[in-house]
Every structure is written in structure tokens, then in C-alpha cells.
Amino acid sequence: MILAPVPLTPDHDIPAPVLTELTALYAANREFHALSGDFPDPDDIRPEQVAAALADELANPDAEVLLARAEGRLVGVVITLTRHPDPADPDPWIGLLMVDAAAQGRGYGRRIAERVEERFRAAGRDAVRLAVLENNPKGLAFWTALGYAVTDHRPDREHGRPCTVLRKELG
């Protein structure tokens, strides 16, 4: 599996073929988008909506959008944040990890998380955090199975949705 930054055109746009792949990946995760409310209609996720959501991430100099490819196809996307907006929080964050629904259950999510942890460890970071929506028990089960421990319950910064915050020491 290859994990690499999303390619951008000279105008800092996502190339159309990559955006098509990303839109299919997002659309395949209807259940998550119904929980998150990130898109107006989780049954009709459009390229321009995915582009706008990722443009917000790509505009943040502390964020990185990484694509996971295996066997020549996009199997996942992960968004990381090297610095949290709260200056009292020293840890990097995983903002989103999404695996194509057709590829779930094959270990891609675990491998993507491990690669992200390796990247942060190589950068000298001691731990990583993330937040799981309170209404997402599958997400919570996934992250706790990978060794993440619950540290807090609080609303997310952008939408005020109830979340469980988890942290993992990178050792």
C-alpha cells in the first residue's frame, strides 16, 4: 500500500481523475456521512462538494490530505493535522480516515493508521489524537482496537457535534 499526499494541479486544484476517485470513495461511505452530516444528502455526494471539503483542509498549512492506494486503486484517504488549533494541545491529530466501503475489512484502515503513526513518530511526535463522533460506535471500536484510549468527551470545534477524544502514545 502506498500513502502519498493528494496531487494538485499548478492552480492547487485536485486533478479531475483523482477527484472522481475521491468522490466515489466518499459516496461509498454513505453511513458515515449520514452520521456526520458533512454533506447535505449522503445519497448524492458530488465532486464539487468533495472538492470544497478538501479545499478547506488543503488551505490549512498544518493539514495534509493523504491518499492510500493498493493494487493500483484508491482504497482510502486520511487527513492529518500537525498542530491542533488549541495551543495547549501538543499532539498532532488524525482528522479523518476513510476507507472505500468495498475495501473495508481487509486491513487497509489499520495499515493507513499505522503509516500515519510512523510519519508522526519519524517527525519526533510522542502521541497522536483524534475525535470520533459519539454516534459512531463502529469508529470508536476501530480506534480502541488499535490502542487509542479515550481521554475526553467534548463537542467538535467546527460543528459542535458530540465527540469522544482518543489519544495514543507513539513510543
**Structural domains counted in the chain:** 1
Helices 47-58 + 16-28 axis angle, to 10:
100
Residue 155 CA to residue 165 CA, distance in Å, equals 9
**Burial of 86: CB neighbours in 10 Å, binned 0-12, 13-18, 19+:** exposed
Residue span of the structural domain in which 124 resides: 2-169
- pLDDT tens figures, 94-149: 999 999 999 999 999 999 999 999 999 999 999 999 999 999 999 999 999 999 99
93, 80 Cβ separation under 8 angstroms: yes
Predicted model pTM:
0.95
Evaluate if residue 87 carries a pLDDT over 90: no
User: In this structure, what C-alpha cell is assigned to residue 104?
Assistant: 473495508
Looking at residues 68-89, what average pLDDT do you find?
93
Residue 17 CA to residue 22 CA, distance in Å, equals 9
Closest CA to 35 of 158, 161, 141, 157: 161
Predicted confidence at residue 157, as pLDDT, reads: 84
Buried b (16+ CB within 10 A) or exposed e, 4-20: eebeeeeeeebeeebbe
Residue 156: give its domain's CATH number. Answer: 3.40.630.30
Residue 25's pLDDT band (cuts 50, 70, 90)? very high
